[in-house]
Amino acid sequence: MKLKWLGHAAFLITSEAGTRLITDPYTPETAGYQPITDEADIVIISSDNDSFHCRADLIPGQPIVINALKLAQTDKQRNVRGIQIQAIEAMEALNHQFHDPDQNGMYRFEIDGLHIGHLGDVGNPLTAEQMEFFQGMDVLLALAGGHPTLELDDLKTLIDTIEPKIVVPMHFRTLRYKPRNTFWIETFLSFFDDKQVDFVCNYEVDLTVATLPTSTRVMVLTHSQ
């Protein structure tokens, strides 16, 4: 599969068969990233009221839209075009500095034999149930900017507990990101040995089961938008 970081919490994941899935599309005017021009067959949003995570309406094409929060509150899982999507409820930071916290959904899915997890917009330490939900991850799309998402030491606890093969940071401060209330990537990387970190120097990478590392590595992408 191909993994492309669009910006913020948005990724384009393309299967070997050509199925295109986009996660948590943002509003360009508020996030600061350029409009997403990639088409998608499936879009997953972690909530329906957060302009940084829910703008499926801005994605070209006619994608099937999955609301992870609603999925978590109802069927828990759904098969869409051969991709099994599962979700679990989460909350924004209970001590959110900017507004009252809202509910959202975290989610996971499998493409080309790779198990991928997305942390949505969770802002609190994960519960035992939520930790269990993310067991067996090959690729964890991780909220690496600190408050108002989960604190970095809580994120590191999650990573140490579930031991994903690859951690891809997202939702951290960049030159594009308009709000200046999150950490630069260096703060997150300080939790790891330099030998654990790979700088791809690109916004897209090819991943297969055969090329997965044997222990957790951090893969830093540049954003495409």
User: Mean pLDDT throughout 56-75?
Assistant: 96
- Res. 206 pLDDT band, cuts 50 70 90: very high
Question: Which of 14, 133, 2, 140 shows the shortest CA–CA distance to 76?
Answer: 133
Residue 164 has what pLDDT? 98
Mean pLDDT of all residues belonging to the chain: 95
Residue 177 has what pLDDT? 93
- Res. 21 pLDDT band, cuts 50 70 90: very high
Going by the DSSP 8-state scheme, the letter that residue 198 receives in this structure is E
Residue 143 has what pLDDT? 98
Separation CA 112–CA 207 (nearest Å): 9
Looking at the chain, the whole-number percentage of residues with pLDDT higher than 70 is 96
The dihedral through the CA atoms of 42, 48, 52, 53 has a sign that is: negative
Asked whether residue 99 carries a pLDDT value surpassing 70, the answer given is no
Asked whether residue 168 carries a pLDDT value surpassing 60, the answer given is yes
DSSP bridge pairs for 44: 23, 66
Judge contact between 21 and 190, C-beta under 8 A. Answer: no
Which domains, from first to last, does the chain contain? Answer: 2-220 (3.60.15.10)
Residue 97 has what pLDDT? 57
Asked whether residue 159 carries a pLDDT value surpassing 70, the answer given is yes
Each residue's pLDDT tens digit, 100-153: 567 999 999 999 999 999 999 999 999 999 999 999 999 999 999 998 899 999
Looking at the chain, the whole-number percentage of residues with pLDDT higher than 90 is 90
- Res. 179 pLDDT band, cuts 50 70 90: confident
Question: How many angstroms from the chain centroid is the CA of residue 173?
Answer: 15
- Res. 92 pLDDT band, cuts 50 70 90: confident
Residue 93 has what pLDDT? 66
Separation CA 157–CA 159 (nearest Å): 5
Separation CA 199–CA 70 (nearest Å): 35
Tokens for 47, please give them: 């909530």
User: Mean pLDDT throughout 67-71?
Assistant: 97
